[in-house]
Copies of this chain bind each other. A is one copy, B any other.
Amino acid sequence: MRNHARALALIATLSVSTAYAQDPKGDVAWDLLAGLTSEVGPRMPGSEAEARARVWAEARLKALGFSKVAVEPFRIRGYVRGRDEANLLAPIPFKLAITALGYSGTTPEKGIEGDVVYFPTLDALKAAPAGSLSGKIAFIDHAMKRNQDGSGYGPYGQVRRAGPAIASGKGAIGVVIRSIGTDSHRNPHTGGTTFPDGVKPIPAGAVSNPDADLIARIARSGKAIRLSLTLTGKTTDNLPSGNVIGDLPGRDPSLPPILLGCHLDSWDLGTGAIDDAAGCAIITAAALKAQEGGAPLRTIRVLWAGSEELGGFGGKAYAEKHSEPHALAMESDFGAARVWRVQFNMADKALSDRIAAALSPMGIVRGSGKADGGTDVEPVIEKQKLSVVDLNQDGTHYFDLHHTPDDTLDKVDPAELAQNVAAWAEVLKVVANEAGPIAAAP
């Protein structure tokens, strides 16, 4: 109870004293979100900025009353961005809005030039004959559309994840994709790609959707397209990263904790507000809010994972280091729009019914899919066969902003952020007070 009282006192203090607070009521989640995006800024995996974020996170979690706050370091293979430029050279000159993909190959400082081969889909690229792209730059188009559950990201994201390696295998000297995103702004969407062993990394970038529209129009007109491409960033081994964890101790320390995940790192084009400062703000504020009626039975642990964006390094490191048992895992890494659905991976139907009943008055429906957490908690879920609750956020607009320069604080609606915190707190009040085992579905 002492921790609980201290936490509540600190909430009041911090919400007034935080330099960047905007909500006149004072709000832990907003303060964390505004602080991380404004006092730290972009937090690329393995960067100096991500290291500053860990220092900031450790101080904030301690100030909020978390105990056993710890930074847990690991090393990663990262991508250090250089200069990203591309220009249409023919049929008209035009400076394209481009970003390098993570793990892109590196061009010389003066860039490369090539004729473009246009592929309307990833399947069209796959069907191109071996060697047919020698000396060429491949352009891969697609038709990703927005939807509420974000399920387009899996299939359409393959253009980014797998497309560059396929183009390289057919001899391309570079590859440009239509951004994996649903907006129509001149802001490209970055994200990681992969070049499997034996495949030569080639320069790989994404142009904004309006730029891709122009390239597609030109391709339809039958005119030849020529591009210059300068992407001087470098894949770099052995960069420092780390997780930050902190506990709000439960009344019964013998019970395994509830684990809440988010990620501290972000892409570097924006300030990582929706991806994923918002997630860390939500889980942390909810963990504190769940103390309001008195500390629950179980410890609640927050995991602010490092280097999620380049391959989920933080989640893997956590699972490796933390072999102690956990009760259940949850993650917030899909922006800050309102929670509309809850899904479970839970053997105890009565328990999941109680959670769904607690959320129902908020207009949150129960889905029939299987909860899987997210990248930062999946490794420990897999290893320990943990039960999971997913609070699904409305993803209709998520891929308008995802991995773009536009992922900034102004995009978050404080009322929707607060709805997330309230929903998470409802779940925590149930699961953190459950004395018996909380098993995953068989």
Contact = CB atoms under 8 A, between A and B. Distances in A.
A408 interface: yes
Nearest to A20: B217
A234 to B, nearest CB: 18
Given A19-B223, A221-B20, A41 B187 contact: no
Interface in A172-231: 184-187, 209-210, 213-214, 217-218, 220-223
A45 interface: no
Contact of A42 (B41, B94, B97): B94
Given A97-B405, A186-B406, A187-B187, A38 B218 contact: yes
Contact of A187 (B92, B185, B271): B185
A411 interface: yes
A410 B409 CA distance: 26
A91 B56 CA distance: 14
SS of A interface (majority): loop
A217 B92 contact: no
Contacts of A369: none
A22 B271 CA distance: 37
A406 B209 CA distance: 10
A410 B209 contact: yes
A411 B186 CA distance: 11
A328 interface: no
Contacts of A184: 410-411
A49 B406 contact: no
Given A49-B93, A92-B41, A210-B409, A34 B217 contact: yes
Interface of A: 19-20, 22, 34, 38-42, 49, 91-94, 97, 184-187, 209-210, 213-214, 217-218, 220-223, 269-271, 404-406, 408-411
Given A49-B92, A94-B271, 16 more contacts: A19-B222, A19-B223, A20-B221, A38-B92, A40-B92, A41-B93, A42-B94, A49-B93, A97-B405, A184-B410, A185-B406, A186-B269, A186-B408, A187-B187, A210-B410, A214-B408
